[in-house]
Structure 1
Amino acid sequence: MPERADSRVDRARRRTRVAGAALSAPLGALAVLLPATPAAADDTYGAPTTRCEITDERLPEISGLVGVGNAMLAMNDGGDQAEVYVLDGACAVGEVRTAAVDPYDPEDLALGADGTVWLADIGDNDQQRETVALIGLRPDGSSTLTRLTYPDGPHDAEALLLAPDGTPYLVTKEVLGASSVYRPAEPLADGVTLPMTRVLGMGFTLTGTPGGPVGRAGQLLVTGGAVSADGQRIALRTYTDAYVWPLADSDVAGALSGPPVRVALPDSPQGEAIAFAGNDRDLLVTSEDLPAVVTLVPVAAAAAPAPATDAAPDDAAAAPLDLGGGVSPVTAGLIAAAVATLLVWIGGRLRRRQG
């Protein structure tokens, strides 16, 4: 049977917001110990503009977006069945594609070369799911469901990268920015459970870009991903920034091992969706809540296509990538532990004084 949320996704989302608020203060203290100057955003992307606004009440919590020519595909975070909405260039809803699958917590969206739309049912705020799932909506109206297991226990994730060769990659959402990248050990198949392999560790650091629902923590949390239709670029986003890499030969792990272009995104309530526009270079981003502004972030006219990068070793021992030019995730973790220890010590001193 399909997995079902035991208390529906809105409760899980409230827990996420509360947890994020609780984390923002310790991360604010941690930020004092991190480098004062964040990595500079690359200037190959121009000023963002509003493409259109989504006002349809059926899309209050957009977490997945795909650009298809001048149109878009969008999905909600949550719902009682797998649903994909087809939007025109003015953000008006046309067709709605559904599958008779009750997802647990869908978080991202991708379009396969054969026209199959993939919903990534990978959210796990409490990190307790035994499996996550990829739900495929085929062009003929049928659907497929493949369950996936992590090799090292549950993870919360919100980003799906579908390589041109059809291989899916999941990127985890980590509070200290030390995200991991996983892929299935075997090709997807309907009705089976497949193990995943960890292929890369990444490190996101504080950028100084404002936005999102959880303060500075939002600069570290990966909330969405996209692969361009021409297979030449990958994008990941946090609540505040987008990162773009060149891609060659479907080597997603190798591409993510190289240096990205960082793009500071406009402030938004809860930005979780990112896509490439019809030209496969400009970015489209949007946020939860209505009206949801779809923002176009254009590539600057004078910008040359990004060169390809060499592939990194495709194994779990790959070194974490420091995207912010600052502290590695291991160092950040040690600093966070030191800050937590200090806060506990101060709290203990205060309680003794009050006793």
Structure 2
Amino acid sequence: MRWVVALVFLAVFGGSVPASAAEEPQPLCTVKDSRIGELSGLVSDGSRLYAINDGGTKIQVFVLGRDCKVQKVLTDRTDPFDVEDLARTPDGRLWLSDTGDNQKGRLTVALLEMSPQGKVTLHRLTYPDGQHDTEALIMDKAGTPYLITKDILGEAKVYRPSGPLASPGPTNLEKVGTVKIAETDTPGGPVGSFGSVLVTGGASTADGTVIALRTYTDAYLYAAPDGDVPAALQRTPVRVPLAGEKQGEAIAFDPDGTLLSGSEGVGEPIRAVRGAAALVPSASASADGKPASSASGGGTSDGGGVPILPAAGIAVAVVGLGWFGFTRLRRRRG
């Protein structure tokens, strides 16, 4: 991974209180195959894992056993620009998010749809407001894709197609919201605490009722009881620290709600937080989109709008008040 850091000016007001999980991430297996040195996207069907590298010059989806050993590779000669994330819909289709744009120079981004038979369909997309570097893809339970940008100031933008996906397109995207990510003191990542505000991956549970975003250091789990992604991202999340991942970009859910995470680098583990989805109260949102009190799940509040789940060992605090800075991060792959 080649990083170019031009300049960082950082002023942080306020502090952060680290969250902790009753069960910290535990190694599931270790990725030892040198072909998966830049793990960026991950999904699970319960018995197998599907993994992609960052970037690349052709489509490659690695099918892994629960021991992280490669069982087969799904390939296509389509040459992507910068693949960043991976999703899977209930019909078995894999969706590769070719949305990386470190230099903010792409006229279009793309989703690459791979059928269970291995056929790849290209769907080009255009933003309504200029270029964005995007590393997170979430598919809702209806099969609508959502792109969440990687924003250096911790306010990620959320986009979805304005209509049915065309092939090859482009289909126009529409902005449907923002997500504010505050700094944490969870250790890990390639750029210290600065990486705790950068969204590097997304995932949803099999039934679409919990969605997750991750940064280099933490995962944020949101209740989506009705499958509405924009509404879910306005609710107060449960934060699950993913400490110690040197360049964490991959995140997924097992069908049973176990949260999986992984980092770039050969010899890095895929880790599991069992029962993570159950930590999220099955809350509903009020009409104005603000977080509502939990109807179940034992959630309480610390007065600042952040749920505390003592039975599950989660303590979450309101973090930070200000980020000011400028930097150029990441690299152009493939």
> Could you state the TM-score of these two structures normalised by the residue count of structure 2?
0.84
Secondary structure at 1:53's aligned position in 2? Answer: strand
Structural mapping, 1:215-294, within 5 Å: 215-279=192-256, 281-294=257-270
Aligned-residue sequence identity (percent) comes to 45
Partner of 2:114: 137
> Displacement of 1:297 after TM fit?
1.4
The total of aligned residue pairs comes to 302
Cα displacement string for residues 115-149 of structure 1 (whole angstroms, at most 9, x for unaligned residues): 11000000011111111000011112211010111
- Residues of 2 paired with 1:180 and 1:300: CA distance? 25
Partner of 2:4: 18
- Residues of 2 paired with 1:79 and 1:288: CA distance? 14
Are the structure 2 counterparts of residues 250 and 146 from structure 1 closer, same or farther at C-alpha, using a change threshold of 3 Å?
Answer: same
**Contact 1:169–1:181 at 8 Å: present in 2 too?**
yes
**Contact 1:206–1:324 at 8 Å: present in 2 too?**
no
- Residues of 1 paired with 2:57 and 2:287: CA distance? 40
Are the structure 2 counterparts of residues 63 and 196 from structure 1 closer, same or farther at C-alpha, using a change threshold of 3 Å?
Answer: same
> Displacement of 1:82 after TM fit?
1.0
Partner of 1:332: 323
**Contact 1:257–1:312 at 8 Å: present in 2 too?**
no
Give the residue type in structure 2 aligned to 1:270: Q
Structure with the largest fraction of helix:
1
**Contact 1:254–1:313 at 8 Å: present in 2 too?**
no
Give the greater-gyration-radius structure (CA). Answer: 1
> Displacement of 1:74 after TM fit?
0.2
Counterpart of 1:125 (choices 99, 102, 116) is: 102
Q: Do residues 168 (structure 1) and 161 (structure 2) align?
A: no
Secondary structure at 1:199's aligned position in 2? Answer: strand
Output the aligned Cα RMSD: 2.3
Partner of 2:281: 306
Q: Which has the higher contact order (CA 8 A, sep 6+)?
A: 2
- Residues of 2 paired with 1:206 and 1:112: CA distance? 32
Give unpaired runs (5+ residues) of structure 1: 1-12, 315-320, 338-355
Are the structure 2 counterparts of residues 311 and 122 from structure 1 closer, same or farther at C-alpha, using a change threshold of 3 Å?
Answer: farther
- Residues of 2 paired with 1:304 and 1:250: CA distance? 17
> Displacement of 1:216 after TM fit?
1.8
Partner of 1:349: none
> Displacement of 1:325 after TM fit?
2.4
Give the residue type in structure 2 aligned to 1:91: C
Cα displacement string for residues 213-246 of structure 1 (whole angstroms, at most 9, x for unaligned residues): 1122101100000011121110100000000011
**Contact 1:283–1:297 at 8 Å: present in 2 too?**
yes
